[in-house]
């Protein structure tokens, strides 16, 4: 029998990382030696992403790289890219599975190692499959991720995720609450509820995200709860008023905004316009004391004018974001946007993304000046080079000159200065 060693590599979102961690746990429980992806292994698993063309390229590159590390290795590719374009990796991967059947990767690895036939692919349509029960080990004693749903019912013009992940399927409230209690018992100070469309949780089971969050008030769970990316349309005044009653919810929300222009949002097939975006953010500020925001922004969507671009710049001013993930628009074959005729050239998209990023940094610097000298509570996550690093409740990134602060410690610091996205504190 070949040595049971496996290297797992993940691209893309937190959901992918959670699922990769779960596969690593399953293999470990079956006696596998889970190694770093760069080490020589008998099996490699690459959990792919297809959010952008660059994600596709990196996925292909990593699949090929596995064979260069060990030409005799059995290479498994799974995830969004392989679900959408399996033909692109058939010549490089020995086994291919998709998004809602990732445990097929574990079974294929076991069959290979024991000398049995594995087949080449296992790619049923995601929407024909239920929520895949995966439990991720949480090796850090700081922040744990808890997957609560999979799939997306949106029809955004630029996105392949609905095709790659299928419709919304939700994990049971009982399972989620049980995992949160287990994380509390294990000493985790923070948990992040994550999914492909987190705000759609419960749409298929007759409950909703707000109901789940309110139930955390009545159980043992980590003292900090965060949400991954939220659709701004979900945060109505009525919802944000009730969110204020979730005792452990951190006052930071990451919004899947994409643009500050109603015309662009309509072309993107988003569920809201700029007026709703502004109104819901104002309501959150009114209802959730001290709430701050971060956001995803796409620059240079087809048809975006210079005035549309300026509206997104003005949105950055209004939102006063803690940080922004800004990307130039990436065409995805098979989406509505890829067929639009009013596409912008690469130079324009790159320029607008750079201008947005520069403006956001100016906002961050002005914000930092106001915060200098104030106190903040930090959850420390790592130490490196004589410094301890962590995040505040508002997800500001902080470092303190100290090498004796343990992971998972929560301490109050005084913010002193800011540079390149990091607050210096003491």
Collapse the DSSP code of 385 into the 3-class scheme (helix H, G, I; strand E, B; otherwise coil) and give the result: coil
How high is the pLDDT of residue 53? 87
Token digits of residue 86 = 């399996």
* Helix/strand number for the chain, H first, E second: 12, 19
Mark which of 62, 93, 126 sits at the end of a domain.
126
CB of 208 closer than 8 Å to CB of 243: no
Report the alpha-carbon distance of residue 39 to residue 41 in Å, rounded: 6
How high is the pLDDT of residue 1? 47
In a domain, 134, yes or no: no
Residue 86's domain is classified under what CATH number? 3.40.50.12160
Burial tier of 262 (Cβ tally within 10 Å: 0-12, 13-18, 19+): middle
Pick out the chain residues at pLDDT < 50. 1
Mark which of 370, 399, 417 sits at the end of a domain.
370
Mark whether 297 and 232 lie in a shared domain.
Answer: yes
Report the alpha-carbon distance of residue 200 to residue 228 in Å, rounded: 12
Q: Which helix (H) or strand (E) holds 389?
A: strand 387-392
SS (H, E, C) 75-134: EEEEEHHHHHCHHHCCCCCCEEECCCCCHHHHHHHHHHHCCCCCCCEECCCHHHCCCCCC
pTM listed for this prediction: 0.92
CB of 252 closer than 8 Å to CB of 294: yes
Per-residue pLDDT tens for 246-261?
A: 999 999 999 999 999 9
Mark whether 287 and 241 lie in a shared domain.
Answer: yes
In a domain, 335, yes or no: yes
Per-residue pLDDT tens for 92-120?
A: 999 999 999 999 999 999 999 999 999 99
Report the alpha-carbon distance of residue 176 to residue 193 in Å, rounded: 9
Mark whether 379 and 365 lie in a shared domain.
Answer: no
Mark whether 85 and 184 lie in a shared domain.
Answer: no
Mark whether 342 and 407 lie in a shared domain.
Answer: no
How high is the pLDDT of residue 138? 60
In a domain, 131, yes or no: no
Give the bridge partners for 225, in sequence order: 191, 249
Mark whether 361 and 384 lie in a shared domain.
Answer: no
How high is the pLDDT of residue 35? 94
SS (H, E, C) 157-220: CCCCHHHHHCCCEECCHHHHHHHHHHHHHCCCCEEEEECCCHHHCCCCCCCCHHHHHHHHHHCC
Mark whether 359 and 383 lie in a shared domain.
Answer: no
Mark whether 362 and 247 lie in a shared domain.
Answer: yes
Mark which of 332, 350, 370 sits at the end of a domain.
370
What is the number of other CB atoms lying within 10 angstroms of the CB of residue 43? 28
Closest CA to 321 of 356, 353, 269, 373: 356
Mark whether 193 and 304 lie in a shared domain.
Answer: yes
In a domain, 298, yes or no: yes
Residue 244's domain is classified under what CATH number? 3.80.30.20
Report the alpha-carbon distance of residue 117 to residue 99 in Å, rounded: 22
Mark whether 113 and 192 lie in a shared domain.
Answer: no
**Residue 309 phi, psi dihedral angles, 5° rounding:** -60, -45
Mark whether 391 and 366 lie in a shared domain.
Answer: no
Residue 397's domain is classified under what CATH number? 2.40.50
Instruction: Kindly list the distances between the CA atom of residue 196 and the CA atoms of 81, 170, 229, in Å, as whole numbers in the listed order.
Output: 15, 11, 8
In a domain, 393, yes or no: yes
Mark whether 233 and 279 lie in a shared domain.
Answer: yes
Structural domain containing residue 241: 143-370
Per-residue pLDDT tens for 325-340?
A: 999 999 888 899 999 9
In a domain, 164, yes or no: yes
Report the alpha-carbon distance of residue 225 to residue 248 in Å, rounded: 6
In a domain, 34, yes or no: yes
Question: In total, how many domains does the chain have?
Answer: 3
How high is the pLDDT of residue 139? 57
How high is the pLDDT of residue 251? 96
In a domain, 207, yes or no: yes
């Amino acid at each position: 029998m070949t040595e049971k060693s496996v290297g797992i590599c993940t691209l893309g979102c937190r959901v992918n990382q959670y699922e990769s961690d779960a596969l690593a746990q399953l293999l470990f429980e079956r006696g596998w030696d889970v190694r770093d992806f760069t080490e020589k292994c008998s099996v490699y698993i690459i959990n792919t992403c297809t959010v952008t063309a660059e994600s596709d390229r990196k996925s292909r590159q990593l699949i090929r790289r596995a064979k260069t590390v060990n030409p005799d290795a059995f290479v498994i590719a799974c995830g969004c890219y392989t679900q959408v374009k399996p033909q692109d990796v058939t010549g490089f991967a020995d086994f291919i599975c998709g998004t809602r059947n990732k445990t097929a990767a574990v079974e294929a690895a076991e069959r290979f190692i024991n000398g049995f036939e594995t087949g080449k692919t296992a790619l049923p349509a995601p929407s024909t499959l239920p929520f895949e029960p995966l439990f991720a080990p949480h090796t850090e004693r700081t922040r744990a991720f808890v997957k609560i749903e999979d799939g997306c019912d949106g029809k955004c013009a630029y996105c392949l995720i609905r095709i790659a992940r299928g419709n919304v399927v939700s994990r049971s409230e009982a399972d989620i609450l049980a995992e949160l209690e287990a994380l509390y018992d294990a000493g985790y100070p923070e948990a992040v509820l994550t999914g492909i469309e987190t705000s759609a949780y419960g749409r298929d089971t007759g409950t909703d995200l707000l109901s789940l969050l309110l139930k955390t008030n009545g159980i043992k769970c980590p003292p900090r709860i965060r949400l991954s990316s939220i659709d701004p349309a979900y945060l109505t005044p009525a919802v944000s008023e009730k969110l204020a009653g979730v005792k452990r919810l951190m006052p930071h929300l990451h919004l899947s905004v994409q643009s500050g222009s109603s015309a662009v949002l309509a072309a993107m097939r988003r569920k809201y316009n700029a007026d709703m975006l502004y109104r819901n953010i104002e309501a959150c500020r009114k209802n959730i004391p001290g709430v701050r925001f971060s956001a995803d922004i796409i620059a240079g969507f087809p048809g975006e004018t210079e005035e549309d671009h300026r509206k997104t710049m003005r949105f950055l001013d209004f939102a006063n974001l803690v940080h922004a993930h800004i990307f130039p628009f990436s065409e995805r074959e098979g989406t509505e946007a890829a067929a639009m005729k009013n596409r912008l050239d690469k130079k324009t998209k790159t320029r607008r993304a750079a201008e947005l990023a520069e403006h956001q940094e100016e906002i961050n610097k002005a914000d930092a000046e106001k915060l200098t000298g104030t106190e903040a509570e930090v959850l420390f996550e790592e130490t490196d080079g004589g410094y301890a690093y962590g995040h505040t409740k508002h997800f500001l990134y902080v470092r303190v000159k100290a090498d004796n602060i343990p992971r998972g410690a929560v301490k109050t610091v005084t913010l002193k200065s800011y540079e390149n996205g990091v607050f210096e504190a003491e």
